[in-house]
Structure 1
């Protein structure tokens, strides 16, 4: 099976053989690698009309939602220096919905 990838501006997201990887093409320090079983992702908006922050990390419970994860469910999070406009959130939701299906997990 080919890797499942998603490119958005300077981000490259990839799932291959049960592992999620994020590469920030603008910064080599913006790299995340997590087994799908423990992956949590969230685009968090403080204000509805402003860009939100992308959070990725490890969840405490593998039964937690893979995308739309409750911030309290994370054991560890990282936020690449990246903002997501509300109009582009459906792109991330669509990608993480496919990732969740591969991991037999849910999205919120």
Structure 2
């Protein structure tokens, strides 16, 4: 099976063999088993770009995407903003990832 990848700006996301990796600016920033993965694009104001958080969740039964910020055990943000119009791109990718992990999205 080919890796499931997503590229956005200087960000490269990759899922292969049950391991999710986040690459930013040419280096690996996060590597986590799929069952602990959590992701969220958090918007403080609806008309402003949001911040992407990717990390590990405390409870593997938590939503994989749309994870509540309080559910994270550890998270990283690759230091760029996601415009509201681009959030569906992230949702589509993480929906595919969640299906492979038998987990849900919010």
**TM-score after normalising by structure 1:** 0.95
Q: Give the RMSD, CA atoms, in angstroms.
A: 1.0
**TM-score after normalising by structure 2:** 0.96
Partner in structure 2 of residue 61 of structure 1: 59
- The runs of at least 4 aligned residues of structure 1 exceeding 2 Å deviation read none
Aligned-residue offset at 1:82? 1.3
Q: How does 1:85-104 map to 2 (within 5 A)?
A: 85-104=83-102
1-side partners of 2:77 and 2:85: how far apart?
A: 19
Unpaired stretches in structure 2, ≥5 consecutive residues? none
2-side partners of 1:72 and 1:6: how far apart?
A: 25
SS at 1:15's partner residue? strand
Aligned-residue offset at 1:20? 0.5
Partner in structure 2 of residue 10 of structure 1: 10
Q: How does 1:1-108 map to 2 (within 5 A)?
A: 1-25=1-25, 28=27, 31-108=29-106
Aligned-residue offset at 1:69? 0.0
How many residues align? The count is 106
